[in-house]
Structure 1
Amino acid sequence: MDNGIRIQGLTKSFPSPRKHEAAHRVLNGLDLTIEDNEFVCVLGPSGCGKSTLLNTLSGLDRDYDGEIRFGGRPMTRAGKPPVRMGYLFQDPRLLPWLSAERNVDFALENSDVPRHRWADIKDHYFQLTGLQAFRRHHPHELSGGMAQRLSLVRALAIEPDVLFMDEPFSGLDELTARRLRVDLLDIWRRTGKTIVFITHNSYEATFLADRVVVLSQGRIRREIPVTVPRPRDYDDPALFAVSKEVAATFIAAAEEAERARARLSEKH
């Protein structure tokens, strides 16, 4: 099944807190194609529309203009999305009163995955993420990295066609984040999911992605392919060279955003 994403003319505005001001446009006629099984990282300064883009793609926000299609099937303003989706937030958002396994069961109970398959699915993903021995533990008994692994198990257990990730490793120390990036790439290779990953980290984006999309002012400033062969090495000079290019584009986008804010401030 084709789970590629086609975005055309995506526009999203939020009302201004000031009564007589125009609405604030966060996404501005954005066009983007994400191929089936592709790993795309979206990078950009705060306020550029990254999380808003993810919310519209995932169906969390359906108040927008433009068109979103998954494998040719349109996202509608009501009803179920055309594909099954998983979503990882910056915070694991685990239910503290439930064990690790029951947190996964909670997600499965709200999915259409047949109950007779739950045990095999949980065994597979707990084993794949190294959490098999911690199934009975509660969230407070897990480290930050383990909690984020558990949130990944929960997202994968519903067998999503597309996985959306909103800065899931930004709250972790770099050593833990590095390990989780490697784990994520291994899971992606094994499952063939289409992944859209939001980040502020240019090196993280370069290490993970097939392609880095840099946003600025609700538009795509640049798309940078990452052709460094997989599996990748953090110390690879070729990877570092691409990350410098990504970082330079990110800095230019941030400077553009700052100039725009300064012009807006001058008007008031």
Structure 2
Amino acid sequence: MRSALLYVWLVAAVIVVCFPLYYIFEGALTPTAWLDQGLEGLVPIHLTLDNVIRATQVIPLGKQFGNSVVVTVCQTLLQVTIGIAAAYALVFCRLRGTRALFLVLLSSMMIPAETTLIANYLTISSWHLIDTVTAVFLPFVASALSIFLFRQAFLSFPGELRDAALLDGAGHFRFIRSMLLPVVRPTLISVTLVSATAAWNGFFWPLLVTNSPDNRTVQVGIAQLSSSEATDVGVVLAGAAIVTLPVLIVVLLAQRFLAGGIIAGALK
């Protein structure tokens, strides 16, 4: 009886969590007239791609989707690369003052992002990058959280193996590529996933530094779509489905690494 009640509770929780996703994707393929029927609109009977086509006609959704891909790839790649290099220097290079530098990095995580907003905007403006795709990801090419997670993972690597690699003539890049990263692969995947998700879901900063629709990301475009097509629920849901689908696929494919990598980094 206890197991049966537990399964009933878990099924109910899954239904509650997954229902919004079902409504988004079902509504994206259902005419608005059928969605307005109430509960009948939740039944996937009249499926069509008209909402998706209409959404791409209202805003340059394809261009904005491409901008989001560029921002996500560049921001994630730079965050992971800088995070690995900084964590490697903190753990293996045995430099003076690394502990103090690490404390400074940790303290930066306690500063609200809103407090640095004006400084970042003035910097981007002085570099004449306003209304460009580069301005969207440039202030976020380094992440204290990524450095912290990589550092915690690198601390678990045996120092004897590092010394042996140096004696064998392995340089820094070869050691990182051939020995270090394969050992901390769960952390690498989890950090990549967290960085990519944050880059993809960014809204306020892209809205602030971009003006033309062709240079904006898809998140900003969907907000404009919901304003201009507020009465056409199907079109708005089609835009939301296009935004949600890439992140949903990535999370489902890498979920086991996400939890494992973060927990491993937190316990070191």
Normalised-by-shorter TM-score class: under 0.3
Mark the structure with the bigger radius of gyration.
2
TM-score of the pair, normalised by structure 2: 0.26
Higher strand proportion, which one?
1
* Greater relative CO (CA pairs within 8 A, separation 6+): 2
